[in-house]
Structure formats: structure tokens, C-alpha cells
A and B are shown apart, each in its own frame.
Chain A
Amino acid sequence: MTPVLEARNLKRDYHIPGSLLKKGKTVHAVKGVSFKVEQGKTLSIVGESGCGKSTLARMVTMIDPVTSGEMLIDGQKVDIAAEPLSSDMRSKVQIVFQNPYGSLNPRKKIGDILTEPLIINTKIPAAERRDRAMAMLKKVGLEEKHYSRYPHMFSGGQRQRVAIARALMLNPRLLVLDEPVSALDLSVQAQVLNLLADLQEEFHLTYVFISHDLSVVRHISDDVMVMYFGEAVEYGSRDQVFNDPQHSYTKTLFAATPRVDVEAIKARLERRKRA
């Protein structure tokens, strides 16, 4: 079976133009990353800010062109720098952003937000667009009455549901989730993670999940890739990476993650008493 997404030695450089007194320079944001994701699976990309994980997300979502390397979606090669993208291709990959307060247009009603991808990419008539949006609202756990409300009337978790619904309107094959739960409270985070799992099962969706929260990653992923300064320093199945990390950076990352188990707390209190 061809993987939904395959990347071969993907690179992305950003050129910072120089001025009279300053020389221009090139930032290598992503330095040759290869991976693939099969249908219905979740690949998580972990790393700290500035490691290139969001640049990678932009390339996969076909917002940013790749500098070099190959990207295949459903076995088909894509290069947005060489040729404009068909709307068919565009609807295969959708993205959900981190901040649900910034990613929804405050002047548009939820219904308009949800039907807009259909207006742009398809020729579906208005009545059907409305029906589909209504159905999608229910799928993500909202209600039909929410159709004509504005984003500011919703909580963070509900807005993230709307953002997920919008991404699913075009029946994508691949969903890129760029830190979708890091702005949410713990209990709301659990609800959204459950929703994502349900939707994945129902639509056989493939996820590229970008996060810095290792406990969430461990919960949701099949495969994990750890990035550090634009390079993939670790790539493998979830259990492989979590049980037997190879690279020193991965180990540092695991050691830095706060532990909530009782044993860890006992050990800390013991150390504190002695000090």
C-alpha cells in the first residue's frame, strides 16, 4: 500500500535579505528529513521551539514550497514551486492550528467558516454546503444551533472543535495538527484528544501531530520523530522511541518532562528533606 505521505530528504531554507551594512544570510530551517505515514496512522513530531517542526508542517500542508527533496502525497509527487496546485490536491491535506482564538475569523459566523473551504474548492450548491456543515458540527460534538453564532461566543475547546470541523469539510486524507491541544485546559484537552481518536477511526484519517508535550504524544502516536535544530535525531515507533531512546537529545527531553507519578514525588520530597 502506498503511504499517504512520504518525504524524502526534505529541506527548507529561508533567505534573510541583506542590506547596505549587513550581509544576507540563509537559515536552514529543515535540513533533510525523511519519513512516511501509512493511512490511519499518527506520526508525531516532537521538538522545542525553533527546531523546524512548524516549517515541516507548512511544507506538508503545501503552504511553503520545499527547497529540495521530494514529497509524495498518495504516491503523487508535489512541488508547489514548480506548478500550481489543483483543488483536488489541496483538499487532501488540511491543517488545524495551535491557537483557536487566532485561527477563526471573528467577523464570520461558524456556518460561513465551515462552508468557505467548499466554496473555494468545490462546486457544491449552497443548500448542500449547509447540510454538510450541519452534519460536521454534530460530528465534532457541537450542535446545529451553533451554526449561526460567532467565534467569540465559544470556549477554547469548542473553537478547536470548530477548527477541526473546518479542516474536515473537504474530506481530507491527511490532517496536520500543529499543537492542537496545547492552548487548552487539561479536561478539555482530554475531550479534544478523544474526539481526534474517534474521527480518525471513522474517516480513516492520517495524522501528522506536532507537539512539545511528550505525555500527549505518547498517548496519541503510532510513530514518533524527534527534531533538533532542523534534523530528525530520532525516528521510530512509539514504543521504540519511548522505551529505548538512542539520541542524547531525546534522553534530555524525557528527563526534562515533569513526572506526575507518586514514586517520583516521593523521591523529590526525600531529596528536599535531605538538602
Chain B
Amino acid sequence: MRRILDWIDHRTGLETAVRNFLYEDIPASSGFHQVFGSVALFLFLVQAFTGAMLAFNYAPSPGEAYNSVKYIMTELTGGRLIRGLHHWGSSMMIVVVVLHMTQVFLWGAYKKPREATWMVGCVLMMMTLGFGLTGYLLPWDNRAYWGTVVTTQIAGLAPGAGPYVVRLMGADGGVGVVTFSRFYALHTLLLPLAIVLLIAFHIYLVRKHGVAPASGDTLPKKKFFPEQVFKDTVAVFLAFVILFVMALTLRAPLERLADPTDTTYIPRPDWYFLFLFQTLKFFEGPLEVVGAVVLPNLAIVALFLVPFLDRGRMKRVIERKGAAVVVAVAAIGWTGLTAAAIATTPAALVSGETEGPAAWRHLSPEELAGIGYFRKENCAACHALGEGGTKVGPDLTGAAIKRDARWMIAHFKSPQALVPGTSMPSIHLPDAQLNALAAFILKLNARNAQDLREAPQPAVEGAMVYQQNRCGACHQVNGAGVKLGPPLNGLSQRHDRAWVEGHFADPQKFSPGTVMPPYRFSPRDLERVASYLMSL
């Protein structure tokens, strides 16, 4: 073994290089406060690894991207964990990079001759944010799409450069396929290469100048390995455990497929950009550019120039009161802005819900029964309802805009006659049921599709019973039907379930003088229609 290692070292110098790296002298004052750089580096490696893993099952084009992410999340064993690690890892990396900078700032470790190390570090932090920004678009869900729309709009505000930045993002005509490809290329090709080179340069600079000693540290130097490596490893392990538990327990968000026509969606950036989002609210009209572009850029410039603004002698960390004040003010400001942004986020968004509760409740009984026929005829085998995917037939969420009910019913009866060459089979249902099916499809849109797809089967069956027995000839539900008898919305507030069930069998007994005929339902039908009516 020794001989093999010697042979390799003699040819490559690898062992000596590793040895030199590990047995570097570091100041006696080094300790746990200097672990954050190592943790950031480790998290970057986790991002690179999980990112490559995701790419193994990811289709980098809009639409397909969404489906493949969904496939990773729902079909692949371990897919949720891998995406969770990547998703939460990105947040964690930003946290750790900021902690690393804060430590360096508090200790004043950027002072001469380490100014360049600090400035390269600033660029690395910007790149980390760049990864977050570009990666945000890649799942191509509503959150990704609308978040990026706002990002590109803000970039467009930059005086002079705005239009060019937007063109560079491929977003002149709005966020679309070109934007997607550019963000993907940045996220997976350009940024990784650039950041690896800069990380190498950053570490080289750290080595060149040595770890910054505390002021007045005159004790003999110690070795980097194994004591400091041990401390770094413990910190890395802690970070990893937190990340792993987050990835296991928290579901990385995947909302509905990006829908550029969705006017109800309220976009929010990822949490680490919320403070910028909130800052923007203080500037209106012509001043908007100040909040969107000028202030953030000034902050970046100030951050870069920190080593030149603070040129005083090296002091002990406890004596650096000014630095502590700056950090405290920044922390309070950031927390306040972020909290304000969260507080003003509509509740529906916080829970990740974008559709009003139970859109199916707003359908007329006929439309709701249409869902039943849709399921009964197994239409979903060939048609998507806004969930994406590549099914044989067209997605029906868009169909209503193009076709009227008459066309649809003719098409149901004889698909070949209206769409030559279609592989759709005829639907053999009575006219009334085809009407219901058409009514349901007319009601569909991209916003309610998911909710309607998931409408509870008992309610749907209740509506089918209601529709087949023509209850609508005398009653109204959600404004549909004839007002001969009492409207049925709010029935549960007027009568209990036993009353409703008994009333069907013998209306005269419960409402003397009523014109309602008795209905003898099967126990199952009675149960369904009663449940449906009581839910209104």
C-alpha cells in the first residue's frame, strides 16, 4: 500500500499536495467561528451533486420541465428527497454564505492584505443569489413563471441597461421558451463553471494570506489538520442533518403548470428576496427605479468597498463596536422587511393554495353531473384537464374557448364527422347526459381545472341523481333551474338530513299541500343525493 502511494506521489505529487493543504499552519485563535466557509463549500458540493441527479430525469423545456419535475416528485423513489435536498439546500446555502460574510465582517478579517479575498467572496455571494434566481424558473410552475415575470420587469427598470438586460434574459416579448433556455444554460453551464473557478481562486487567496489571526494572537501556530478539520466537519455535519431533515419532512413546492393567462396569481419571490420585494413598495412612480435598481446596486457597491471604507488597525472582535452596530441594523432591517412582506402576503398564498376552496360547489347540478359522465366514460384516459402531460387527445381546459355546446354534442355522437381522422370513439349516452358533459367542459378553465378534477365522487354522483331525476325542473341550485319549488342552496341550514331523506319518500307528510311528487330512490342514490344537497 505504502509503495503504491509512494509511486503515485512520485508521479503526480498528489499526496504531497494534500499533505501541504492539510498541514497548513493556522493561527492559534482559529476555532468554531471560522467553520462557515467550509460549510458553504460543502453545501455547494451537495447542490452540484443533487442538481446533476435531478438533471438525469429532467427535461429542459417548458411544459416538459413541469411534467418531468412532477415525475421526479411522484413516480421516482427518492425523487422527492433529491429535489428536497436541492431546493432547501439552495436556501441553506444562502443562509450559510451570509453567516460566513457576517463572521468575516465582524472580525474584520477583510483588512489588508485580504481585500481581494473579500471582494471575490462578494462575487461568490452574488453568484449564489444568481443560482437561486435562475433555478427558480426551472420547475416551470405558476410560482416559477410569475416570479420570473417580476424579476425581468425589475431588470427592465435599470436606466440605460434595462432593455439590454431584458434581451439578454430572452424576455423582450415576455417570459417564454427563450427565457427558460437562457436561465437553464446559466444555471447548469455558465454559473457552475464560473463559481468553481472563483471558489478555487477564493480558497487560493485564503491560503496565500493564511487564515486571519485574531488581533494580538501571538501564540505559536497550529496545524489545520486535524483539529480545525474536525471542527469544520462537525459544523458541516450539523448543517447536513438540518438539510436532510428539511428535505425529508418539508415538501419542495410544485404548484400548477405555469399559466400566463392566470390573472389571479399573486407572485412572490423566494424568501431571501422578500426584503427587496418589500423595499420596492416604498418607491412609487418615477422613484420606483430607486428601490428596484439604485439602492440594491449601491448596497452591492458598498459591500465591495468595505475593506476600503474601514481601514483602521486590526482590533479584537469585542472592540469592533461599529461593525456590530452595522450587522445589527442590517439584521433588524432585513427581518423587518421580510416580516412585513410575509404579513402582507394573502393567506391563500402562504398555504400554497391558489384556487378558491372547492370550485365544484359553484357549479350547477348539471355541470357537476357532467364531471360524473366524464369519469364514467373514462375521458381522462385520453384528455388532460390542465394537469399537463402528453395524452392522446387535446387538453380540455382550452376547448371551451373554441367550441360551443352544439358542436361538442355533435362531436360526442360522431367524432369522425367533425374531426376527420380522430381516434376518439363515439360516446353513447342519452342527450341529457351529453348536455351535462358539454356543460361541464364549457365551465372548465385553467384555474378551476385542478379543483374540478378532484371534485368528490359522492357529490358528483349526487348531482347525477339530481340531474337524471330532473329536480332542476322545479328547484334552483347555484342559480340554475326553475324557481317553482324552494331554492336548495342552504338546505342544510333549514332542515336536517333525516328530514330531507324522509321528504323524498313522502313529501306530503313533511310539507302538506306541496306539489312535489314522491321519489323512491335506491338507498345508495338517496344517500348520494341527500349528501349532495346537504353540502350546498
User: Are A and B subunits of one complex?
Assistant: no
